[in-house]
Chain A
Amino acid sequence: MPADTSAGPAAAAGATAAASVIHDLGYQRYDGPRLGRVQIVRALAWHSFRSAFGLGRGAKAKILPLIALAALCLPAIVNAFAMSNGNPRVVPYDTYQPALRVLVMTVFVAVQAPELVSRDLRSRVLPLYFARPIKTIDYPLAKYLAFTAACLVMMEVPLLLLYAGSIANVHGGAAVWAQTRALIPGLLVGLMWAVVLAAISLFLASLTGRRALATGAVAIFFLMTFTLAEILIAAEGQPLGSQGPQAVQNGGPAQPVIAASSLAEKVSGLFSPFTLFDGVRMWLGGTDPADGVTNPGGFGAVYALVLVIITALCLAGLAARYRKARLS
């Protein structure tokens, strides 16, 4: 094998030369500071928050979040124009534009929650995170914090724009104060939306590494439950519709029938996160827009409880999902 004889030393010499070049450049130890677990989680959360808006990704990843944010800001801009022409504020802080918000937020969480969790599942990068000096729970925690913050931006930035546009067109401290007082409940409603939507959508998205599937699951969950609740509310909410007379014919007194119907209507509101938000908002003293969800009154406590339970379950599910992923 003459080829071997000639190639062997040559290759060896070449490789040794290459190795010595590398050696000259040198491997450098790292003696600088190392961040603790909390700071690593913060870094991961910041990274995830940015990726929720497509920052640090290609241009394509930025399109949808930006369109969504712009769409949500539109009413605030319209309002600013209206007010600059001397009209009173046309968009309320606490409900904003309900239909627009439901639609855009559904699209936003359906597309961006998989961006945060399904990608990592799909590319099987999770073992690398678990091999870092953090606890397993830190990963879903960071993702949840990041996505809550992202949803919060989506909810609050339009409100702040609305506020800015409003106070620019009112005069006097009292008027500004009135706007500010109206804004605060709106911000709190936004917080409620963000906390709950992030939990539900991340949990659903974390169930599959296939992004399209995850997006579909989240979108279908929100749209289906919302449609279901709307239909039920519409059906139960007809004050003297089909059931009323029938119930009377059954011999029952009229008063309880109306009360029962009203309870059914309130129960109907439990079927969708969006109707729950609205119910809790009214329970806490928000305005009653007459259409949409019935004011639950005291039953609003149940709405709040259901929201808390849903959020807790989703977060527990999210944590369990990653505990399982670590062991597999």
Chain B
Amino acid sequence: MPHPAGVAPGADPAGRRSRGGGIVTVKGDARGGGAWDPRAMTPSTGSGDPPTAEAAAGNAAPAVIEATALTKVYPGDVTALGGLTVRFAPGVTGLIGANGAGKSTLIKILLGLVAPTSGSATVLGHDCVAGGEQIRRVVGYMPEHDCLPPDVSATEFVTHMGRMTGLPATAARERAAEALRHVGLHEERYRQIGTYSTGMKQRVKLAQALAGDPRLLLLDEPTNGLDPAGRNAMLELIERIGLEFGISIVVASHLLGEIERICDHLVAIEGGRLLRADTIDSFTRSSQTLLIEVEEGLAALHDELIRRGLRPTAYQRSLLVPIGGDATYDTVRDTVADLGLPLSRMEQRRHQVEELFRDSDAATQPGSALGFADPSATPEAADAR
């Protein structure tokens, strides 16, 4: 199956997006209901979804990270960051960029490990040149590469790392056990790390970042080297930490399609410059469509939907219908029911953010891209209408 939407419910068993917009049960979906009007939508999602409510208030909330004209030029005139100005709101933020876009350099600067050539940045209110130690006290960092000794147990390792974050011995032991339980390694925690699978190692890396009770997690490519199931599990875990633990998270990744579904915000950088930064909803709001898949009678459904005033478009072996409000769901449901067609899938489909980037890439110069590239202008969105 060529993965039409990137948010197939089967591929995303527990993501927040599918809780909101997976299989659409017509009335139950607050998001879908108001999604065509983003201003109306954002407050409505506040019900039982606090971080999203936070995210909705995103621009008012104090920034977790604020960078101003941040520039880093390495010896040999290699510009890793070229005047990056961006703010990260609380919640889960995706930091998107190709390899070499400057993600890791940004993280190192934010941790106060690398001094910027010019410009400034603050993390949780601490300046990252002067306040590196204060930052590192409240920030958990999960590096991209392997960083685990093979010959100690996960418990020992996470305990030691907790000590290094400043926890007293007893607290470090308790919190290591806690953190390992949260990442799902409770049973295996006394085994030597060398015997772990890649997925388990990634979890240990996450646990050591979590042990010191950080206010912010910087995760550098957390799904690196994982198989699809492992990726989903890791993303789910990150999402849960953001949602339920109330910890702000920055997830750096070069795989946009993968992390978009767990993020409240996206920050895209390219060549050390900001491509775009916004809430995930703004990225996708003008492209709400409903994907309908029936086992047979696609043509009949298509014609009937047109007759009932919708504008379906054939998309592979399914139909895409622009959502015009709650009524759209009702109309589609009634149409399918009246025709007696075997409905196999009905899914609110967000415009894949990746497509937006591809288009804004072509349309705007990096750096001047803070403004919106109008997503409705994209061929894909036009197609959907």
Contacts and interface: CB of A to CB of B under 8 A. Distances in A.
A47 B163 contact: yes
Interface in B210-264: 212-213, 236, 240-241, 244-246
Nearest to A37: B133
Contact of B164 (A3, A8, A29, A134): A134
Interface string A115-135: 000011011111111111111
A326 B113 contact: yes
Contacts of B151: 57-58
Contacts of A124: 145-147
Given A7-B10, A12-B9, A40 B163 contact: yes
A125 B71 CA distance: 27
Contacts of B18: 8, 12
Pick the most buried of A18, A36, A125: most chain B CB atoms within 10 A of its CB: A125
A326 to B, nearest CB: 6
Interface string A1-39: 111110111011011101100110101111011111101
Contacts of A11: 10, 13-14
Nearest to A27: B245
A12 B348 CA distance: 16
Contact of A125 (B19, B149, B345): B149
A134 B345 contact: no
A174 interface: no
A327 interface: yes
Interface stretch (B38-46, B166-174, B304-312, B333-341): B166-174
B93 interface: no
A4 B10 contact: yes
A44 B167 CA distance: 12
A247 interface: no
A207 to B, nearest CB: 19
A98 interface: no
A44 B212 CA distance: 16
A56 interface: yes
A34 B252 CA distance: 28
Contacts of A136: 113
Given A4-B9, A8-B10, A124-B145, A32 B150 contact: no
Given A124-B146, A127-B147, A12 B19 contact: yes
B269 to A, nearest CB: 20
Q: Which size class do A's interface residues fall under?
A: 35 or more
B19 A128 contact: no
B160 interface: yes
Contacts of B164: 40, 43-44, 128-129, 132, 134
A45 to B, nearest CB: 12
Nearest to A17: B14
B186 to A, nearest CB: 10
Nearest to B146: A124
Interface stretch (B81-89, B117-125, B135-143): B135-143
A128 B178 contact: no
Contact of A327 (B114, B175, B182): B114
A8 B169 CA distance: 44
Nearest to A8: B9
B211 to A, nearest CB: 9
B137 A4 contact: no
Contacts of B9: 4, 8-9, 12
B10 A3 contact: yes
Nearest to A26: B244
A123 B150 contact: yes
A2 B13 contact: no
A12 B182 contact: no
A27 B213 CA distance: 9
Given A4-B344, A40-B164, A128-B143, A22 B136 contact: no
Contacts of A56: 156
Given A11-B13, A57-B151, A5 B344 contact: yes
A133 B168 contact: no
B236 A15 contact: yes
A27 B166 contact: no
A268 B285 CA distance: 80
Contacts of A131: 111, 113, 136, 139, 141, 143
A30 B13 contact: no
B61 to A, nearest CB: 19
Contacts of B160: 47
Interface string B171-201: 1000100100110000000000000000000
Interface in B324-355: 344-345
A129 B136 CA distance: 10
B63 interface: no
Interface string A137-171: 00000000000000000000000000000000000
Interface of B: 1, 8-10, 13-14, 18-19, 22-23, 111, 113-114, 133-134, 136-137, 139, 141, 143, 145-152, 156, 160-161, 163-169, 171, 175, 178, 181-182, 208, 212-213, 236, 240-241, 244-246, 293, 295, 344-345
6 A-B pairs with least C-beta separation: A15-B14, A11-B13, A8-B9, A30-B213, A131-B141, A123-B149
21 contacts: A4-B8, A5-B345, A9-B22, A12-B19, A12-B22, A15-B13, A16-B14, A16-B19, A19-B240, A25-B181, A27-B246, A30-B175, A30-B212, A40-B164, A40-B165, A44-B164, A125-B149, A127-B143, A130-B113, A132-B164, A133-B137
Given A40-B163, A47-B163, A134-B136, 5 more contacts: A8-B23, A9-B9, A124-B147, A125-B149, A128-B161
